[in-house]
Amino acid sequence: MGRAHTYALYSQVTMLAFIGVCLALHPGVVLRWNEAGLSNYGVHIRTVVPYSLAFAGSAVFAVMAARATPTDTRARIVLRAILRAYALLSVFALLSTYGYTVNATLKHIHMAAGITVMAFEPLASVWLFRQVRGFRRDGVWLTLELAGLLLATIDLFALLHVLFLAQALTGVSFGVLLVHATRRIAAD
């Protein structure tokens, strides 16, 4: 296993593990009929530390994966850009979380961060899928990613409140495709 792949894997495991801690500590934040999004873990005293570690840790490992990815092919250059963009968006989403309940301006900034992440991950996933297609399971992950985007759009227009489900589908699907593509591209 190459260093870039290992760091990409650590990035996604870090995110999943610490969000899992948040979920275990305070499941009612996101698991209810009128469900809220992951950001709510960043404003509760009980979950702010694991929430922060999820995003910050994931970003740090994504930067490390980007640095460990060679730049000798176009695919590797794009993969590095995706890893860096993911890290930057994770930090932006994290920092915008802390004050989003204070006023409308900060809430709009946080919503813009969330929308940017929800648009970036499916777009990046399509590119990642194109690099590794040939494995049937990757098509399943891409389909789940796009289903999450559809649910996020439905939630944005307040037709259903399924933000956590949308975030879970897109985040996990993107993570699997990112790790798989990093293994394949960085190792070739």
How is the chain classified by DSSP, letter by letter? --HHHHHHHHHHHHHHHHHHHHHHH-GGGTSSSSB--GGGGGSSTTTHHHHHHHHHHHHHHHHHHHHHS--SSHHHHHHHHHHHHHHHHHHHHHHHHTTTTT-HHHHHHHHHHHHHHHHHHHHHHHHHHHHHTT-HHHHHHHHHHHHHHHHHHHHHTTSS-BHHHHHHHHHHHHHHHHHHHHHHHHH-
Please name which of 31, 24, 13, 17 lies closest in space to residue 46, comparing C-alpha atoms.
24
Q: Is residue 26 part of a domain?
A: yes
Pair of tokens at residue 149: 């985007």
pTM: 0.92
- Indicate if the pLDDT at residue 18 is higher than 60: yes
Domain-located, residue 45:
yes
Domain that holds residue 176: 3-183
Lowest mean pLDDT across 20-34, 53-67, 82-96, 144-158? 20-34
Please check whether residue 159 lies inside any domain of the structure.
Answer: yes
Which pLDDT belongs to residue 116?
94
Percent of the chain clearing pLDDT 90 (strictly above): 61
Of 4, 9, 125, 121, which Cα lies nearest the Cα of 68?
Answer: 4
Residue 61, pLDDT > 70, answer yes
Work out the average pLDDT over 80-104: 95
Half-sphere exposure of 120 (CA within 13 A, CB side): 21
Answer whether residue 115 is part of any domain: yes
Mean pLDDT of the chain: 90
Q: Give residue 33's pLDDT.
A: 61
Residue 156 within any structural domain of the chain: yes
Burial of 76 (0-12, 13-18, 19+ CB in 10 A): middle
What pLDDT, on a 0 to 100 scale, did the predictor assign at position 142? 87
pLDDT at 137 over 90: no
Examine residue 78 and state whether it is found in any structural domain, yes or no: yes
188 has a pLDDT exceeding 60: no
Which of 13, 60, 18, 10 has its CA nearest to residue 42?
18
What are the pLDDT digits (tens) for 165-183?
888 899 999 999 999 999 9
Amino acid 149: pLDDT: 84
How many structural domains comprise the chain? 1
Is the residue at 145 inside a domain? yes
